[in-house]
Structure 1
Amino acid sequence: MIEQHHLSIATRGRGTYEITDAVQQRVCQSAIVTGLCHVFVHHTSASLLLCENADPSVRHDLEHFLARLAPDGDPVYTHAAEGPDDMPAHLRAILTKMDLTLPISDGRCALGTWQGVYLYEHRTGAQQRRLTLTLNGA
Structure 2
Amino acid sequence: MIYQQTLSIQTAARTTHNLTREVQSIVAESGIQTGTCHIFVQHTSASLMLCENADPDVRLDLETFMQHIVPDGDPMFRHQDEGPDDMSAHIRTVLTNPDLTVPVTAGQCALGIWQGIYLWEHRTQRHQRRIIVTVQGES
TM-score range, shorter chain: over 0.9
Q: Give the unaligned 5+ runs of structure 1.
A: none
When the two chains are superposed, the root-mean-square deviation of aligned CA atoms in Å is 0.5
| Residue in structure 1 matched with residue 121 of structure 2 by the alignment | 121
CA shift at 1:31, angstroms? 1.5
CA distance in 2, matches of 1:60, 1:35: 32
CA distance in 2, matches of 1:22, 1:82: 30
| Residue in structure 1 matched with residue 73 of structure 2 by the alignment | 73
| Residue in structure 2 matched with residue 42 of structure 1 by the alignment | 42
Instruction: Encode CA deviations 1:64-102: one digit per residue, 9 max, x unaligned.
Output: 110011101111100000000000000000000000000
| Residue in structure 1 matched with residue 84 of structure 2 by the alignment | 84
SS in structure 1 opposite 2:17? strand
| Residue in structure 2 matched with residue 133 of structure 1 by the alignment | 133
CA distance in 2, matches of 1:15, 1:71: 15
Q: Does 1:18 align with 2:9?
A: no
SS in structure 2 opposite 1:65? helix
Percent identity between matched residues is: 58
CA distance in 2, matches of 1:55, 1:12: 19
- The residue type paired with residue 127 of structure 1 is H
What is the TM-score with the length of structure 1 in the denominator?
A: 0.99
CA shift at 1:29, angstroms? 1.2
- The residue type paired with residue 115 of structure 1 is Q
What is the TM-score with the length of structure 2 in the denominator?
A: 0.98
| Residue in structure 1 matched with residue 106 of structure 2 by the alignment | 106
> Structure 1 stretches (4+) deviating beyond 4 angstroms?
none
Q: How many residues align?
A: 138
SS in structure 1 opposite 2:28? helix
Q: Give the unaligned 5+ runs of structure 2.
A: none
